[in-house]
Structure 1
Amino acid sequence: MCFCDFDGDGEMELIIGSPDSELRIFKNDLMRAELLETDAVIVLQEFDRNRFGYALANGTVGMYHQDQRLWRIKSKSVITAILPYPNNDMITCVWNSGKIDVRSINENGEVVCRDSTLTGQTVIAGFTSMMNNDDELEFTVVTAEGKVHGYNNSKPKELVDKTQETLHLFGQKKHNLLIELSNFEQEEQLSESEKEKDFRIPIGTSVECKLFVSKSDRNLYLVLEASHEVCIRGVIAFAEGLFEGESYIWIPKLIEGNGDRVQIPIITEKDMANEIHIRTFLGPQESNKLSVFETALSIPRFARFCVLQTEDAFSTPKSYVEVSIKIRNQRILDWVMDTFLIDIDYPIDPEEDLMEIRFLGLASKRDQELCIKHFQSDGKTIIYHKCMETAGNIIQSLCDYFVIDTLEAHAEFPDKFAEVEEICNELDSMYDVRDRLTTDLTEKQTLLMEVVVRAEDAIVIDDL
C-alpha cells in the first residue's frame, strides 16, 4: 500500500493492492476508485502530480496518472522495489534478478540507463536514503547473501561525445534501407512464371478478425478468415491476462479444405476490457515463405455474456441491484453496445418506456442469466444477476460511462443473505459452546481451589 494525492485535491488517498489483481483507492473510509490489473499487486510507490507506480507478481511494472494507465512493460523477472530516483520524472526499477534500470515516466517507460553488476544475485530489498548528509539522494539494494550496495547519481566530469553513437545509429538505418531497396529491385526482375513458382499470395489479400458466439456450446471464439481462399499456416495472439503466458500460438496439425478460416476459443475469467494483437501467417501449403498480417481486435468488458433474442428461453434471477439513473433509453443502449457483445441490428425500440435486454453467460459464466431493465420515465434501472461481484462491476461501469460520482443502490441477493444468516447462526452456536466451556472452566477452577485449600488444611492438621 501507499499514500498518494490521487485526485489532486491536496489530500492524500490510500492506495491498496490486493492479491485478487485489483487496485483500490480509499478516501477516508470510502472507496474512491477501483482499477483492475492482471495479477496480484506486490509493489506500490507514490510519485508527484497524482501519479503512482505499481508492480505485479507476473513481472509487469507500470505507471498510473489518477485512473489512467500511462504505460506498462513486462519482464521475466519480478520487481523487488520501485523508487522515485533520481527525480520524480524517473522511475528506478530494482528486479529480483539483480537487474536495475532507470526509466522515463513521460516517455512510455523508455529505459534511460541500466546497471547489470548484480545480475545473478537475488535482490530482496531496495530503498532511497541520504547516507552522506550532503542532501544528495542515493539508493541502496540488499541481496539475499546479506550484501548491501549503494548507488548515487554522480555527474561525469566531461561531456561524453555522442558522435560515434549517432553515426552508428544512422549507419544501421542506412543498412536497413539498402536491404529493403535490394528486395524491391529483385522483385522487379522476377518474371510472372518465376512468381508463380514462388507460391505467392494474391495481391490485395486481407485477414478479417471478428468475435463469434457459438450457440451450440455457448463459447466465445476469435474467428480469422483470409480472403482469396489463402491458407492460414499459423496464428500468434497476444493479450494481457487473457491467455496463459499472455500469448496463444495456433499451428494446424492437419489443414482441412482451403484452411482459410480459423476459430480460437476465448475464455475470459474477469470482467475487463482487453485488446488482442494478432499475427497471422499466410501462404500456400507447398510454400516455405509466409506473409505476416498484423491486426488488433478489442474485447468489451463484459464479453462473458451473449445477448439473447426475445424468443429464447430465459429465467429471470431472483437477485438484483436497483438504482435510479435518469437517462434516455438510447444512451443506455449505447453503453450496452460499448461494453457487451451485442449486434448493431439488435431488435429494440429505445423510445418505449421499458427497455429490457437479456443475456446468458459464456464459459466461466456458463448458463448464468443476466437481465438489464431501464424505465425511461422515472430512470429506474434494475440489474438482475446472481453474482454480486459482477452486478457491482456493471454498476461501476455505468457510473464510469455516464460520469456519475454518487449513486444510491438497493440490492437483494437472497442466496448471499441466506449464507450470511447461516454463518451468523453457526457463530451463535459457537458462542454458546464458548460460554459453556467458560462456565465449565470456572467450575473446574473453583473445584481446584477447594482441593488446594483442603490439602493445605490436611497438611496443617498432620503437623499438629
Structure 2
Amino acid sequence: MAAFTFNLQKKIEPSLVTCGKFDGSHPCLAIATSAGSILIHSPHRQPPANIIDSSHENLERRLEWNGEIAELQIGRQIISLCTGRLHEDERDILIIGMHTHVLAYQVEENADLFYKQVADGAYSLAVGKLSWLPNPVTIIGGNCSVTILNNEGIEIFWTVMGDIVRSLAILDFDGDGENELLAGTEDYELKIIKEDLILWETKETAPVTALAALSGKQFAYVVGNGTVGIYEGGQRLWRIKSKHRVVAIKCYDVNGDGVMELVTGWNSGKIDARSCINGDTVFKLQINSPVAGIVEADYRRTGRPDLVIVSITGEIRGYSAGSIIDTPEPGVAIRQLIAKKQALLMELRQRNNDNSSSSYLSTKLAINAITARTAARLVLASGPGLFIHCVIVFAEGVFEGETLVVHPKIPVGELEIELRPAKNTPVDIHVKVCLGSANTDLFQVFEIVRQLPPFSMYELIPRPAELPNNLRNCGVSFQISERPQRVVLWLNQSFLLSEEFIITDESSIDIWFRGMRDNKIHCLQISSTGNAMIQTQDPNLAGDIIQSLAMYLGIQELGSEAKFPDEEQKLSSALERIKDLKEVDTRLQADAAGGSTLLKNLVVRLEDSRILNDLENMRKRLHQLKTINGDLIRAHEFRVNSRKELALTLKELNVGVRYAARLRVGHAATSTVTRCRAAIQEENTRALVTALQNG
C-alpha cells in the first residue's frame, strides 16, 4: 500500500529523475520533462522570496514557483541529471548534462555555480569524493571519455574510454576505505578507475546503461538487453534477464529487516526487489505506466526514508520500509508443491525406464580448420546406445540472443557446434544436452560448463616462407623481464591449441597465427632476453595481447614503441577534419547571428506596416521573412549535421587514443593519454603521431 501518491500532470523523461536537499534539509524531487525543462517538487518548504536571475549565452533560466512545484527552463535537450554536494555546506547542487554543456545549478539561490562546455557531451553524471582528489568533484561520462571538474567547473582530470560512457558510480571497490570510479560504456565494458590505473575491467553482453553502488564492495549493473545483476569485488554474484528494459535501480530495505535489497524499475511498469546475495525476488508490484525513475528520500519528514517511484506520466508513489512486502495469493504454495511433485514423479519414471547404466558424454573444444571460414567448435559425443536429441548452448556475445538451440531432425551420436566470439575476451559456455535412446520421450539432461579462451578465434599456423609485406613496418615492440616458460603458460591458457606449446629455457618464442574473423596473419616473437614484438596491422589485437599478458604476468609498468601507419594516417586525417569542422561551425554561428538580427528588424518593420495599414509593404516584409526563415532553417540543419560529424570525428580520435594507451601499462599508458590529449587540443598532428608511436 502506497504511503502517498500524487500526479505532476507532466510527461517525464525515463532515467532522468533524481532527489536532493537543495536547502540542506528538505528533500526535493528533480525531474526532467520532455519539453526540455526541470521540474522541482518541494512539499515541505516555501519558494524563496528573493530571486536572483542568472543567464549564460543563449540560455535564459529562471526558477518559476507555482505552489510546491518550480520549473527550470533549460531550452536544450537534457540527457543526464544528478545531485550532490560540491562544497562543505549541506546543500546539494543540481547537475544537468546536455549534448554540449554541463550546468551546475544552485536551486536555493536560483543561480549557476558553473556552466561548462564539454565537446564530448555529458551522457552520464556523478558527484562525489574520489580517493586521489582532495575535494568532491563532478564526473562526466562523454563520447569515449571521462572528464572530472572541480567545484568551479575547471577540468582537473581526463581519460579515454572505448565508447560513449552511459553510466557512472562511485564506490570502494577493493575495500581499502578509498573510493574508486566505476564506468560503463556502450561497447559493453565495465571499468574500475583509480587515478591513472585500471584496477579491474570486464565485458558484458550489451551497453551498460545504469550502475549503483551497494553496501561493501558490491555494485549493481544494468545492460541494454534487459539484464540486471550484482558484482562483488569483481565476481558476479547473480544476474537475471527479461524481455523488458530496466529503467532504474535503487538499493532499499523494502521489508524492513535491516538488509538492503535491489529495487528495479522496468519500462513495462513492473517494480521488483531482489536479494543482493542471490537475486531471489522479495516483492513485486505493477503500476499503470512505465517507470521513469526510483529514488530514496524522507519525503514525509518521518525520519525514515521512503521509496519514491516516478512514472513517465508524472504519477509519483511513495512506499515506506516494510509496507510493500509481497503477500502470496491463496493456493500459490500448494500449486508450487504440486508442480514439484510432478517433476519428481517424472524424474522417477525416467530413472525406472533407463536401462543404460554406462552412459557418458564427452566434451572438447578444438579448432575447426576444415571449413573455409574456420571457427572454434564444440564437439559433443554420446555413449553407446544413446543419442543427442537437443542441445542448448548459452554463451555471452557469441550467438544472437546469447542462446543457441540445436535440435537435429534425427537424433545423432556426435554433434559439432561452431562458436564465433566477436571480441578477444574469455567466454563461459553453458551447455545442456538431452540424451536418450532413439525413440524415447524421456531424456537425461547433462549440464556442462567450459570456458573459451580469449584468443580462441586465432589459429596457429607454420611460419611463412616470406614475411608478408603488410607486416614489415607494422607492430609494437616492448621489453619484459619474465622467463619464457611463464609466457608459454599464458599462451597455452589464452589460445585454443590442439596440443600444449613447449620450449626450453634458452629458446625464444616465435608463433604465427591467423585471425579467423578477417583471415589476416599476425606474429608474436619473444627472445630469451625478454625482447618482445607483436607484428600485426591491428592495434586492437596488439593491445589485447599486451593487456592480457601484463595481467597474467602481474606487470604493473610497461612501455612500448608502436608503429601502425594506417592508424596514424587515419587519426591525422581526423584531426585535420576537426580543424575544418570547427572553422565551419564558427562561420555558421556568425551567419546565424546575422540572420537573427535581420529577422528581428524585419519583424519590427512588418509591425510598423501593419499599424500603418500598408498592405503592400506587409506582403513584401512577409515574403522577406519567409525567405530568411527558410535560410535560417537550412543553415540550422547544416549546423546540426556538422555537429554530428564533429562528434563522430572526436569519437574516432578518442578510440585511437585508447588503442595507443592499451599498448602500454601503468604510467606509460597515462602519459600516452595525456600527450595525445594535449596534441588534440593544440591541433598538432605531428605531436599526436609521436605520442602514438612512443607513448
Higher relative contact order (CA 8 A, sep 6+): 2
Alignment map for 1:372-451 (pairs within 5 Å): 372-377=524-529, 379-427=530-578
Distance 1:320 1:174, change over 3 A: same
- Measured in 1, the distance between the counterparts of 2:263 and 2:306 equals 11
Q: 2:485 aligns with which of 307, 323, 330?
A: 330
Q: Is the CA contact (8 Å cut-off) linking 1:2 and 1:16 kept in structure 2?
A: yes
Q: CA deviation at 1:391?
A: 1.8
| Matching residue of 1:273 | 426
| Matching residue of 2:209 | 42
The 10-residue stretch of structure 1 (298-307 or 210-219) with the greater mean CA deviation from structure 2? 210-219
Q: Confirm whether residue 115 of structure 1 aligns to residue 284 of structure 2.
A: yes
Alignment map for 1:76-225 (pairs within 5 Å): 76-86=243-253, 89-105=260-276, 107-111=277-281, 113-118=282-287, 121-154=289-322, 202-216=356-370, 217=372, 218-225=374-381
DSSP-derived class of the 1:39 partner: coil
Residues 112-142 of structure 1: CA deviation (Å, up to 9, x unaligned): x112232x53111111111122321211111
| Matching residue of 2:448 | 295
Q: 1:52 aligns with which of 215, 219, 222?
A: 219
- Measured in 2, the distance between the counterparts of 1:201 and 1:178 equals 18
Q: Is the CA contact (8 Å cut-off) linking 1:4 and 1:12 kept in structure 2?
A: yes
Q: Confirm whether residue 67 of structure 1 aligns to residue 222 of structure 2.
A: no
DSSP-derived class of the 2:450 partner: strand
Distance 1:312 1:343, change over 3 A: farther
- Measured in 2, the distance between the counterparts of 1:62 and 1:287 equals 38
Q: CA deviation at 1:299?
A: 0.7
- Measured in 1, the distance between the counterparts of 2:320 and 2:467 equals 66
- Measured in 2, the distance between the counterparts of 1:214 and 1:278 equals 19
- Measured in 2, the distance between the counterparts of 1:209 and 1:46 equals 39
Tell me the amino acid that sits aligned with residue 368 of structure 2.
Answer: S
Q: Is the CA contact (8 Å cut-off) linking 2:386 and 2:438 kept in structure 1?
A: no
Q: Is the CA contact (8 Å cut-off) linking 2:378 and 2:418 kept in structure 1?
A: yes
Distance 1:149 1:428, change over 3 A: closer
Length, aligned pairs only:
413
Q: Is the CA contact (8 Å cut-off) linking 2:432 and 2:446 kept in structure 1?
A: yes
Distance 1:312 1:151, change over 3 A: farther
Distance 1:326 1:30, change over 3 A: closer
Q: Confirm whether residue 359 of structure 1 aligns to residue 529 of structure 2.
A: no
DSSP-derived class of the 2:546 partner: helix
Q: Which has the larger radius of gyration?
A: 1
Distance 1:343 1:63, change over 3 A: same
| Matching residue of 2:130 | none
- Measured in 1, the distance between the counterparts of 2:434 and 2:466 equals 41
Q: Is the CA contact (8 Å cut-off) linking 1:54 and 1:62 kept in structure 2?
A: yes
Q: Is the CA contact (8 Å cut-off) linking 1:60 and 1:73 kept in structure 2?
A: yes
- Measured in 1, the distance between the counterparts of 2:245 and 2:541 equals 30
Q: Is the CA contact (8 Å cut-off) linking 2:350 and 2:443 kept in structure 1?
A: no
| Matching residue of 1:232 | 388
Q: Is the CA contact (8 Å cut-off) linking 2:367 and 2:497 kept in structure 1?
A: no
Q: 1:262 aligns with which of 415, 418, 422?
A: 415
Residues 281-302 of structure 1: CA deviation (Å, up to 9, x unaligned): 2334444443333222221111
Q: Is the CA contact (8 Å cut-off) linking 1:48 and 1:88 kept in structure 2?
A: no
Tell me the amino acid that sits aligned with residue 115 of structure 1.
Answer: K
RMSD of aligned C-alpha atoms? 3.5
Q: Is the CA contact (8 Å cut-off) linking 1:201 and 1:230 kept in structure 2?
A: no
- Measured in 2, the distance between the counterparts of 1:325 and 1:403 equals 11
The 10-residue stretch of structure 1 (51-60 or 390-399) with the greater mean CA deviation from structure 2? 390-399
- Measured in 1, the distance between the counterparts of 2:303 and 2:543 equals 48
Residues 435-463 of structure 1: CA deviation (Å, up to 9, x unaligned): 9x79x99xx9xxxxxxxxxxxxxxxxxxx
Q: Is the CA contact (8 Å cut-off) linking 2:366 and 2:498 kept in structure 1?
A: no
DSSP-derived class of the 1:334 partner: helix
Residues 90-116 of structure 1: CA deviation (Å, up to 9, x unaligned): 3222222222222222x22222x1122
Residues 358-408 of structure 1: CA deviation (Å, up to 9, x unaligned): 21111xx2212222222232x222222222222222222122212233322
- Measured in 2, the distance between the counterparts of 1:373 and 1:110 equals 50
Distance 1:182 1:211, change over 3 A: closer
Q: 2:404 aligns with which of 235, 239, 248?
A: 248
The 10-residue stretch of structure 1 (283-292 or 59-68) with the greater mean CA deviation from structure 2? 283-292
- Measured in 1, the distance between the counterparts of 2:239 and 2:408 equals 33
DSSP-derived class of the 2:302 partner: coil
- Where does structure 2 lack aligned partners over 5 or more consecutive residues? 1-167, 595-695
Distance 1:179 1:28, change over 3 A: closer
Distance 1:339 1:99, change over 3 A: same
- Measured in 2, the distance between the counterparts of 1:326 and 1:134 equals 62
- Measured in 2, the distance between the counterparts of 1:296 and 1:27 equals 34
| Matching residue of 1:342 | 497
- Measured in 2, the distance between the counterparts of 1:433 and 1:143 equals 42
Tell me the amino acid that sits aligned with residue 269 of structure 1.
Answer: A
Q: Is the CA contact (8 Å cut-off) linking 1:232 and 1:283 kept in structure 2?
A: yes
Tell me the amino acid that sits aligned with residue 244 of structure 2.
Answer: S
Residues 35-93 of structure 1: CA deviation (Å, up to 9, x unaligned): 21110011111123232211001111122233332322222222221212126743222
Tell me the amino acid that sits aligned with residue 489 of structure 2.
Answer: D
- Measured in 1, the distance between the counterparts of 2:440 and 2:341 equals 31
DSSP-derived class of the 1:116 partner: strand
Distance 1:177 1:201, change over 3 A: closer
Tell me the amino acid that sits aligned with residue 522 of structure 2.
Answer: L
The 10-residue stretch of structure 1 (6-15 or 312-321) with the greater mean CA deviation from structure 2? 312-321
DSSP-derived class of the 1:44 partner: strand
Q: CA deviation at 1:244?
A: 1.3
TM-score normalised by the chain length of structure 1: 0.78
- Measured in 2, the distance between the counterparts of 1:61 and 1:427 equals 38
Q: CA deviation at 1:421?
A: 2.4
- Measured in 2, the distance between the counterparts of 1:67 and 1:232 equals 37
DSSP-derived class of the 1:327 partner: coil
Q: Confirm whether residue 12 of structure 1 aligns to residue 167 of structure 2.
A: no
- Measured in 1, the distance between the counterparts of 2:262 and 2:578 equals 49
DSSP-derived class of the 1:248 partner: strand
The 10-residue stretch of structure 1 (172-181 or 133-142) with the greater mean CA deviation from structure 2? 172-181
Q: CA deviation at 1:26?
A: 2.7
DSSP-derived class of the 1:391 partner: helix
Q: Is the CA contact (8 Å cut-off) linking 1:327 and 1:376 kept in structure 2?
A: no
- Measured in 1, the distance between the counterparts of 2:422 and 2:509 equals 28
- Measured in 2, the distance between the counterparts of 1:381 and 1:165 equals 64
The 10-residue stretch of structure 1 (2-11 or 135-144) with the greater mean CA deviation from structure 2? 2-11
Q: Is the CA contact (8 Å cut-off) linking 1:43 and 1:81 kept in structure 2?
A: yes
- Where does structure 1 lack aligned partners over 5 or more consecutive residues? 188-199, 445-464
Distance 1:204 1:366, change over 3 A: farther
DSSP-derived class of the 1:335 partner: helix
| Matching residue of 2:160 | none
| Matching residue of 2:191 | 24
Distance 1:423 1:130, change over 3 A: same
Tell me the amino acid that sits aligned with residue 417 of structure 1.
Answer: E
Q: Is the CA contact (8 Å cut-off) linking 1:202 and 1:228 kept in structure 2?
A: no
Tell me the amino acid that sits aligned with residue 298 of structure 1.
Answer: Q
TM-score normalised by the chain length of structure 2: 0.54
